[in-house]
Amino acid sequence: MAQRITEEFVRLIPKTELHVHLDGSLRIPTLIELAKAGKVKLPAYSEEGLRKKVFKDFYKDLPDYLAGFGYTCAVMQNAENVERIAYELAVDHLAEGVRYVEVRFAPQLHAHEDFSMEDVVRATARGFERAQKEHNRSPDVKAGRDIPFHFGIILCALRFFNEYMSPYYAAISRVMPFAPRKQIIAAASQELARAAAVMKHELGLPVVAFDLAGAEAGYPAEDHKAAFQFAHSNFIRKTVHAGEAYGPESIFQAITDCYADRLGHGTWLFADEMVRNPAIEDPKAYVHNLVDYIASQRICIEVCLTSNLQTLPHMKSIAKHPLRKMLDHGLSVSICTDNRLMSNTTVTNEIMLAVKHLNLTQRELRNVIVAGFKGSFFPGDYTEKRAYVRQVIDRYEQLKAEHLK
């Protein structure tokens, strides 16, 4: 009989983090320190107080969950703070065995007259690069006892914003005062896509993908089709938050209108009862075909267990999460945190939830780990990525032989 999967083993094995928001993953002591220095008012100035009032174990709904971003974004308005937050996030990942991270954020939430979108990305890159150099120069990496750390940056367009969310959004709203909100939002997405192409191809910044985040219901992905077409045409990979708070049709739009290479969450993929389009005569067949397409195309799904449990009131327990069904259907899945601060979690914790509540087997764990590395938007070329994945597999098998019989 195979030995059970232990938390020690999960912490040791190389892991990926493909879905983590920079502004949702600050250390609380850092948030308090930066808030005091920048005169940002917080509801409490102790970790215990902020955990009780803002960053909770349980949230009433998605707006309650998102409220904390107002405080984190407020301290992320200059390069020094953003670089520090990025560095600490990389260090926290490294401490639990994560060896590849794709950190995502909406630079338009942090940009203003003295801090451009490019500045935001450069500051984030500097923080991660500092942690990367520290790790990759370590004796264990040089001796082959550990594998190198790599990272990429994903830029998030928003399905919805208003002029109160940042100086950038206020400015673009002023430039288009009489335009419909839908048109203003589409224009912001297109500007971000163009900026992503410049940063990646002309400036050499580690931008690896373009994302669409925010409320799904009432804000369809098709509104951002032009931005994703531009990203697609400029060899920028795409991931889309879809199926988190809306049904299979949102996932279909992510794939067909946004050319999604990966899917963020995909929680309601199997929910044929949520199909709303009356033109779809057989919702069950529609979902079956959608699932089969995602499986056959190896479109990786970025699953965030704790976050889903906190923001989706109908999901009563981890045991109800569709990850079990995703694995049974042979889908490519990577387990992620979404927001380490808001959900008070780590990649190790999320994997252990799947082990304990969804009966993740040793074989399935290996598949999930490898799928994360294979599904990554690795910043090097394909040959380099293959070599890195090989390193990961060899290291995994070595640790398995040492810790699991």
pLDDT digits (tens, 9 = 90+) for 331-341: 999 999 999 99
Question: Is residue 334 a part of any domain in this protein?
Answer: yes
Question: Is residue 296 a part of any domain in this protein?
Answer: yes
CA dihedral sign, ordered 197, 201, 207, 208: positive
| pLDDT at position 60 | 84
Question: Is residue 346 a part of any domain in this protein?
Answer: yes
* Percentage of the chain modeled with pLDDT above 70: 99
Question: Is residue 252 a part of any domain in this protein?
Answer: yes
Question: Is residue 238 a part of any domain in this protein?
Answer: yes
Question: Is residue 282 a part of any domain in this protein?
Answer: yes
The 10s digit of each residue's pLDDT in 171-186 is 999 988 888 989 999 9
Q: How confident is the model at residue 2 (pLDDT cuts 50, 70, 90)?
A: low
Q: Of residues 17, 83, 216, 244, which has the active-site annotation?
A: 244
Q: Which CATH number fits the domain that encloses residue 245?
A: 3.20.20.140
Q: Which of left, alpha, beta for 243 (phi over 0: left; psi -120 to 50: alpha)?
A: left
Q: What average pLDDT does range 20-45 have in this prediction?
A: 98
Spell out the residues 6+ positions from residue 98 whose beta carbon is closer than 8 angstroms to its own.
14, 15, 16, 17, 347
The percent helix, strand, coil of the chain (3-state, each to 5) is 55, 15, 35
Active site residue 96: no
Q: Distance between CA atoms of 220 and 169, rounded to whole angstroms?
A: 19
Most confident by average pLDDT, 160-169, 312-321, 373-382 = 373-382
The 10s digit of each residue's pLDDT in 348-390 is 999 999 999 999 999 999 999 999 999 999 999 999 999 999 9
Question: Is residue 1 a part of any domain in this protein?
Answer: no
For 16, the domain range is 7-403
264 pLDDT above the threshold of 80: yes
Helices and strands (H and E) in the chain: how many:
18, 8
Please count the other Cβ atoms lying within 10 Å of the Cβ belonging to residue 193: 24
| pLDDT at position 1 | 44
Question: Is residue 2 a part of any domain in this protein?
Answer: no
Q: Kindly state the helix (H) or strand (E) to which residue 101 belongs, with its residue range.
A: strand 98-105
Domain count, the chain: 1
Task: Tell the burial category of 125 from Cβ atoms under 10 Å away from its Cβ (0-12, 13-18, 19+).
Answer: buried
56 pLDDT above the threshold of 80: yes
Partners of 16 in beta bridges:
100
Structural contact between residues 186 and 223, judged by C-beta atoms closer than 8 angstroms: yes
